[in-house]
Structure 1
Amino acid sequence: SPHNLVKGLWQLSRLHTFEGLSTASIGCIDICDKDFDAQVARTRKRPLPSGMVTMNEALVAFFGGLVITVAVTFVLLGERVTWAMGPPWVLSFIYPLCKRVIWAPQVVLGLTMASCVLPPWVALGNDYNNNRDNIALPTSLFGAIFSWLVYLDLIYASQDRPDDEKAGVKSLVVFLGKNLKLGLAALGVAQIAFFAQAAFEASASRFLWLFGILPWTISVPWSILSLDPKDRNSGGRIFLFNAVLVLYLTAVA
């Protein structure tokens, strides 16, 4: 694609809006993965590898977004919450580099998003020294989000396994190989257990158990059994289903 700064920056923002709003990492993954993305069929049309945006333009957009994110967080939520955002921000910058070093970058992604449990807990006036008896709920949510994110990203990354193997990308999907579904099953059991524990700690209503936890539990084996590692489109379809399911669970909760 020809150079198109406005369209390219819009694509960068659209691709990473959810993570960018919470971790200030808009564009960081694309900047680090430019060469890898050019070798993967699904990602080679992204702004940087396609030429819509230059590296300098992407860097300006990234650092500008970073400054704005930190400033808005500090002004709206205060100093304590801004410091509490430190772990997810730092991890979000480490994550894109992990696929060059370790075989489980998805684990770092899981830690990044799970650590986003800390800022709202702090925003409610909690801290570890004075609220040690009340850490069961955030701990359960941390475990649930971590296991779910790794599980979901494995499903998503299954689309790129052939290209990742050729490009030398280190990925848990490549590492697990034929044992991918066993790994997904273990993560599925973990997320169900953690979500159930979180619901118990929060004294959730029967409505949430019946229309939230139960459908989520049923969705896990369905997703795993429906995944066909040989079909590149399979991972995308199941990923989209789970993304919609999250919106449903959020509404129910």
Structure 2
Amino acid sequence: MIDRTSSGAVADAAPANWVDTTAPASWRPFLRLARADRPIGAWLLFWPCAWSVGLAAAAAGWSASNLLHLALFAVGSVAMRGAGCTYNDLVDRDIDAKVARTRSRPLPSGQVTAKGAALFLAAQLLVGLLVLVALPPFAILVGVCSVLPVALYPFMKRITWWPQAMLGVCFGWGALMGWAAAFESLGAAPLLLHGAAFVWIIGYDTIYAHQDKEDDALVGVGSTALLFGDRTRPILAGLYAGAVALLALAVHAAGGGAVAYLGVAAFAAHCGWQVKALDIADPTLCLKLFKSNRDAGALIFLGLLVDALLRT
């Protein structure tokens, strides 16, 4: 059997991903640091932003500015997901060296120095800043308010069983941004949307954390996977049910139509499939179910987008 990590490939990256096969060799360690070989995180960061743009469009009709905001959030999601991973790996490099799934990452494996990672982090943050300042002033203010929870996130597993809740705050922040950019205000609809994203993220990241629960227990860090244990399935069902309810309330608060509710129903069916299929003792299945949330997020956005276009 070939050891993929001997060439610098990260253990949990998909085989033959574009970074390991086509990217210039000198770029690969930094692209791996930004998780470019595992783009699922960028999708999951982008969807709450896209939902918020779609919800604003459902409330006020589709416009050219919505398309601009989507493009900015797409670029920002890639840059800030990469920055978040780089920052997280800088903070966690000693812990990552002790966990089987993460010890092949660029910092603990020595592919990138801490100084190199810090410079790369600064470059990614600059891209994120350029995206942010292209938004209206109120949206810039809302975006700046996300800095504190993002900075705190890597430390949560050291002091609580609920790092997934802080991830929900951070990754769900985009649910506020699209509305703030469209209306230069906040209200019930985007706040409900953020609540939906928050509980959805706790759910899917708990599935993800079941891959590492034995190592996490040995290292001494917390996660909802360890906290929930064998109760994960019913708790996950409750979290996903809460996300569905809050999504429906957000659509109602924005004055969305029938197609938007169809998107919520499709999302609910997808989440129900995840709960039914879950086997917390099967890490491969847990990763598959976690990645499937890219499609779950797309269902909500598609419903909101079509609803807005039809109403326009």
Instruction: Tell whether the structures are fold-level matches, with TM greater than 0.5.
Output: yes
Q: Which digits, 9 at most, give the CA deviation of each residue in 1:80-125, with x for residues without a partner?
A: 3222112222211210111111110100110112222333333224
Residue in structure 2 matched with residue 9 of structure 1 by the alignment: 30
Task: Report the AA paired with residue 146 of structure 1.
Answer: F
Residue in structure 2 matched with residue 131 of structure 1 by the alignment: none
Q: Aligned partners of 2:127, 2:294: CA distance in 1, in Å?
A: 27
TM-score (norm 1): 0.87
Q: Aligned partners of 1:47, 1:180: CA distance in 2, in Å?
A: 32
SS of equivalent residue, structure 1 residue 33: helix
* 2:73 is the counterpart of 1:21: no
Q: Which moved more, 1:81-90 or 1:95-104?
A: 81-90
Identity %: 29
How far has the Cα of 1:26 moved from its partner?
4.5
Unmatched segments (≥5 aa) in structure 2: 1-5, 9-24, 46-74, 305-312
Residue in structure 2 matched with residue 162 of structure 1 by the alignment: 214
Residue in structure 1 matched with residue 167 of structure 2 by the alignment: 109
Using a 3 Å threshold, how does the CA distance of structure 1 residues 158 and 171 change in structure 2: closer, same or farther? Answer: same
Task: Report the AA paired with residue 143 of structure 1.
Answer: G
Contact preservation (8 Å) 2:139, 2:184? no
Using a 3 Å threshold, how does the CA distance of structure 1 residues 235 and 123 change in structure 2: closer, same or farther? Answer: same
Contact preservation (8 Å) 1:161, 1:173? yes
Q: How does 1:89-168 map to 2 (within 5 A)?
A: 89-127=147-185, 135-168=187-220
Q: Which digits, 9 at most, give the CA deviation of each residue in 1:136-190, with x for residues without a partner?
A: 2112101111111111111111111111111112111112222222321221121
Using a 3 Å threshold, how does the CA distance of structure 1 residues 207 and 123 change in structure 2: closer, same or farther? Answer: closer
Match of 2:265 among 204, 214, 217: 214
Q: Which moved more, 1:93-102 or 1:114-123?
A: 114-123
SS of equivalent residue, structure 1 residue 50: coil
* 2:204 is the counterpart of 1:183: no
Q: Aligned partners of 1:34, 1:240: CA distance in 2, in Å?
A: 24
SS of equivalent residue, structure 2 residue 98: coil
How far has the Cα of 1:63 moved from its partner?
2.0
* 2:292 is the counterpart of 1:237: no
CA RMSD of aligned residues (A): 2.2
TM-score (norm 2): 0.72
Using a 3 Å threshold, how does the CA distance of structure 1 residues 78 and 207 change in structure 2: closer, same or farther? Answer: closer
Q: Aligned partners of 1:191, 1:164: CA distance in 2, in Å?
A: 27
Q: For this pair of structures, how many residues does the alignment match?
A: 245
Q: Which moved more, 1:80-89 or 1:228-237?
A: 80-89
Regions of 4+ moved over 4 Å: 1-5, 15-20
How far has the Cα of 1:33 moved from its partner?
1.6
Q: Aligned partners of 1:246, 1:117: CA distance in 2, in Å?
A: 12
- Higher normalized contact order (CA 8 Å, seq sep 6+, divided by chain length): 2
